[in-house]
Amino acid sequence: MRRKTRQIFVGDVAIGGDAPISIQSMTNTKTSDLEGTVKQILALEEAGCDIVRFAVNSEEDAKTIPEIKKRIHIPTIADIQFNYQLALYAIEYGADGLRINPGNIGEKWKVKEVVDAAKEAGISIRVGVNSGSVHQEYIEKYHGVNVDSLCYSALDEVRILESLGFSDIKVSIKSSDVNQSIEVNRKFASMTDYPLHLGITEAGNKEQGLIKSSVGIGSLLHDGIGDTIRISLTDDPCREVEAGKILLRTLGLRKEGVEIISCPTCARTDIDLIPLVNEAQEAFKSYKKPLKIAIMGCPVNGPGEAKEADFGISGGKGKGIIFSKGKIIRTVEEENLLKALLEEMERY
């Protein structure tokens, strides 16, 4: 069962409560590069991103926010590291949410200014901690960076905002160690009802990053923990979003989109299956309808093994068959298989 959390908003996207689990990513353009940033955000939207974050490192970055917002359709989060003035600019120029840690801002009056401006603008704040920013006092108290020092550092950030009467908060606690990430989020989830943003920090390139994130984020989601996710990859940010969608669909937490079921290939495979599956993955990635498509290597096991698929292809010698719910619809030459599948889906 999903953990009960309070609900907050980033723009018009609800996070927590009974809201669907949202997918986030972050741009890697210079935020002040208006054309580049807008182009990347539009690509992220097309991939299915719900909320986009960008770094605000200068006043110029902040001043670009209104122009960015005019040309995109999803809410924005301004990521601020230390400078409270930049947080104030980001709010002034219309960011829909902030990511900032009050502990990094310094004097309490500066934190208060940011919190007052966020309240006035009606925007939420993400706080948290990762393995590189655990508070020194907890490193000493709990003898290093571990579940306790991570958890209590994050709780401190929350308490600072609460002490200023602010509770539109979501929390992220990230470690590059998957087991530690799972345990600390479980612990924190048992202590508060704030919505959690899940991610594995510095997860790596697409192979390693996908596995680490799927295990870490997937385990927590399976426990009912997590309200919004980002799969961090050293790769094109659109891949993060595509992976996020697959992860949510795998766990039954999102229905829309195409799930491709494909066989691992073996000595019975009679067509060039691997490029076919890759082409299909590409062709279906922005489909919104919930469909299962099977792509199997041989006619004997193909339709039978993929009975529950809405549509499918199975290979024969230089040919293949298109099937739906285990029933054969037509036979086609190998080079036309994907085209024929798309035609049949169109008819459907």
**Any contact of residue 59 with ligand SF4 (CB under 6 A)?**
no
Is the Cβ–Cβ distance between 272 and 296 less than 8 Å? no
Name the minimum Å distance from CB 304 to ligand SF4.
9
Asked if residue 238 belongs to a known ligand binding site, the reply is no
CB within 8 A of 140, min separation 6: which ones? none
Please give the helix or strand (H or E) that residue 226 lies within, else none.
none
Near ligand SF4 by CB under 6 A: residue from 44, 298, 321, 337: 298
Asked if residue 60 belongs to a known ligand binding site, the reply is no
Name the minimum Å distance from CB 299 to ligand SF4.
8
Site string for ligand SF4, 237-276 (x = CB under 6 A): --------------------------xxxx-xx-------
Nearer to ligand SF4 by Cβ, of 240 and 270: the residue is 270
Q: Tell how far CA 51 is from the center of its chain.
A: 9
Please give the helix or strand (H or E) that residue 188 lies within, else none.
helix 178-191
Instruction: Tell me the window of 76-84, 198-206, 216-224, 297-305 that interacts with ligand SF4 (CB under 6 A).
Output: 297-305
Please give the helix or strand (H or E) that residue 315 lies within, else none.
strand 311-315
How far apart, in whole angstroms, are the C-alpha atoms of residue 171 and residue 227?
10
Residue 20 is given by DSSP the state: P
How far apart, in whole angstroms, are the C-alpha atoms of residue 138 and residue 348?
59
Cα Rg of the chain (Å, integer): 23
**Any contact of residue 326 with ligand SF4 (CB under 6 A)?**
no
Asked if residue 49 belongs to a known ligand binding site, the reply is no
Near ligand SF4 by CB under 6 A: residue from 158, 210, 247, 296: 296
Q: Which residue ranges are tagged as binding site for [4Fe-4S] cluster?
A: 263, 266, 298, 305
Interface contacts to ligand SF4, rule CB under 6 A:
263-266, 268-269, 296-298, 301-302, 305
